[in-house]
A = this chain, B = another copy of it.
Amino acid sequence: MTHKGYKNLTHQLQKFIEQKNNAKIIPLLEGLHAADLAEILDQLDFEDALYVIRLLESDVTADIIAELDDDLKEKILENLSAKEIAEEVEELETDDAADIIADLPEDKKVEVISHIDDKDHAKDIVELLRYDEDTAGGLMGKEYIKVNENWNVLRSVAEMRKQAEEMDKVHTIYVVDDHDRLEGRLSLKKLLTTSTKTPIKEVYNDNIHFVNVNDSADEVARVMQKYDLFVIPVVDEMGVLVGQITIDDVVDYIKEEAEKDYQMAAGISEDVEANDNLLQQMRARLPWLIVALVGGFISVIVLSGFGNAMNKYGTLFFFTPLIAATAGNVGVQSSAIVVQGLANGTLNGSIWKRLLKEVSLSLVNGIILAIILLLIGKFLLDHILTGFDMKMGITVAISLVTVIIMASLIGTFIPLFLHKRGIDPAVATGPFITTSNDIFGIYVFFTIAKLILGF
């Protein structure tokens, strides 16, 4: 049944493990979904989790291992022998099997594969290991049903029965030619209502969406989402049907990508979770902080270059955080829009048109902010801030508009540039844009102040 708390069950389980009371552990866990069992094991100490994995049958534990949290999965696999892993892998569909083997050290990989008894299964897994994990090939499985266009209905039904044996669920029946090239699909309804002698050629539907084995996972997600598909066939360069991708794997991919992009925008460079340990968290967060610190030093040096303003116009220095923060915020906004537009394909038109649009928008936003600034300057700061007069107010306002335009241009240009170079533009948002805009913003501010106030 759905989503219950497992607190009680986990406590009982811990007690039974401590007592090594296997006779009670097995019935306690019986009938639970692998995803639930994985969630329960994630709560246990590693030794206890390993104990349960070793206790249960491999047809149960295989699915549990496939669902485990990455850290625990890795640790468990380290502690299982190649033969034990091969037994687990034997029970899994090819895509899950390949995912598990892909993470093993090279020599253990070979050993595990050699221990797989079903040689066809092993061959399929080896094929899947060739593909990059962020491509259609990396997402697909080798379990699908195909019939030859030259068979008749009777033979097709017989062959389908054979093929369907090792599958959880049949979604689509693919039709191929003599060279295994994808020709279309066959509806179950058609198959059941057509006379048994009819060749498949005459009844199949050639209107079918597919992806190429080298297409990116993003492209697969885009096509499946656009056409509301639950499964999509995968073909190689020759048009030969080589696999099938199911939407559940694409959902996992979409979720992971979204989390990675979000973390990247927040200056977290490795995929971490709230419960990861201190070292993992540090590795993910410290690099960007160091980048930002170096940026901070550059701004110290830039500011010191305008140090002679301090005697007469020291008040200017009170405005540096305001200018720097605005530059950073504007840059992040612009880059986020561009990064997202690139990711979901909604960004049309040329770079120049895009930059022009950002400049117009910044001009409008900048002028509104400048007016607010002048009003606050006139009615508040003029009275409470020594050294502030309207000439300085106008200086800050002009700088603000200039800095906003410049920051939005940088925020727009950098991700577009990275994208053209084949680099993931998501790295450009967050600390990188903020830091560079801080520095440029401060430099522009004091340069304008120098021109207007003269120091």
Q: How far is the CA of A275 from the CA of B357 in the complex (A)?
A: 10
Interchain CB contact under 8 A, B303 and A314: no
Is the CB of A147 closer than 8 A to any CB of chain B?
no
Asked if A329 contacts B255 (CB within 8 A), the reply is: no
Q: Which residue on chain B has the smallest CB distance to residue A291? A: B329
Q: What are 8 A-B interface contacts by the 8 Å CB criterion?
A: A2-B223, A267-B333, A274-B337, A274-B341, A281-B361, A300-B318, A307-B386, A310-B317
Beta-carbon contacts under 8 Å, A256-291 to B: 258-259, 261-263, 265-268, 272-275, 278, 281-282, 285-286, 288-290
**4 nearest A-B pairs in the assembled complex, by CB-CB distance:** A296-B322, A274-B341, A266-B336, A258-B258
- List the B residue with the shortest CB-CB distance to A224: B251
Chain A contacts with B in 404-450, Cβ cutoff 8 A: 429-431, 434-435, 438, 442
Q: Is the CB of A230 within 8 A of B248?
A: yes
Known A301-B384, A325-B434; judge A337-B1 contact (CB<8 A): no
In whole Å, how far is A364's beta carbon from the nearest beta carbon of chain B?
6
Additional A-B contacts beyond A273-B340, A275-B341 (11; CB < 8 A): A225-B252, A225-B255, A230-B248, A250-B251, A266-B332, A274-B337, A292-B325, A292-B329, A299-B325, A324-B325, A328-B328
Question: In the complex the two chains form, is B267's CB within 8 Å of A265's CB?
Answer: no
The answer to whether A304 touches B315, judged by C-beta atoms less than 8 angstroms apart, is yes
A293 and B272 in contact, given A267-B333, A303-B317, A310-B310 (Cβ under 8 angstroms) = no
Q: Is A251 within 8 A of B248, CB to CB?
A: no
Binds B, one of A21-29, A108-116, A344-352: A344-352
A372 and B293 form a contact (CB under 8 A)? yes
Which of A282, A303, A326, A330 has most B Cβ within 10 Å?
A: A303
A12 at the interface (CB under 8 A from B): no
Q: Which residues of B contact A430 (CB under 8 A)?
A: 332
CA distance A297 to B381 in the complex (A): 9
Complex: A360 Cα to B277 Cα, angstroms: 11
Instruction: State the copy count for this chain.
Output: 2
Identify which of B317, B322, B349 contacts A297 (C-beta below 8 A): B322
Complex CA gap A337/B328 in Å reads 21
Query: A265 touches which one: B228, B266, B321 (CB < 8 A)?
Result: B266
Interchain CA distance A376-B296 in the complex, whole Å: 12
CA of A62 to CA of B129 in the docked complex: distance in angstroms?
Answer: 43
Chain A interface bracket (under 10, 10 to 19, 20 to 34, 35 or more): 35 or more
Asked if A337 meets B272 with Cβ closer than 8 Å, knowing A303-B321, A310-B314, the reply is yes
Known pairs A297-B322, A336-B266; A3 contacts B285 (CB<8 A): no
Report yes or no: A278 in contact with B209, Cβ–Cβ below 8 A: no
Contacts of A209 in B (CB 8 A): 1-2
Contact residues in B for A228 (Cβ distance below 8 Å): 35, 246, 248
Chief secondary structure at chain A's binding surface: helix
Binding site for B on A (CB under 8 A): 1-3, 31, 33, 35, 207-211, 219, 222-230, 246-248, 250-252, 254-255, 258-259, 261-263, 265-268, 272-275, 278, 281-282, 285-286, 288-290, 292-293, 295-297, 299-301, 303-304, 307, 310, 314-315, 317-326, 328-330, 332-333, 335-338, 340-341, 344, 346-349, 354, 357, 360-361, 364-365, 368-369, 372-373, 376, 380-381, 384-387, 429-431, 434-435, 438, 442
Q: A33-B227, A289-B329 are in contact. Are A282 and B364 (CB under 8 A)?
A: yes
When the two chains form the complex, which single residue of B35, B224, B262, B289 contacts A330, counting CB atoms closer than 8 Å? Answer: B289
Nearest residue, chain B, Cβ from A404: B289
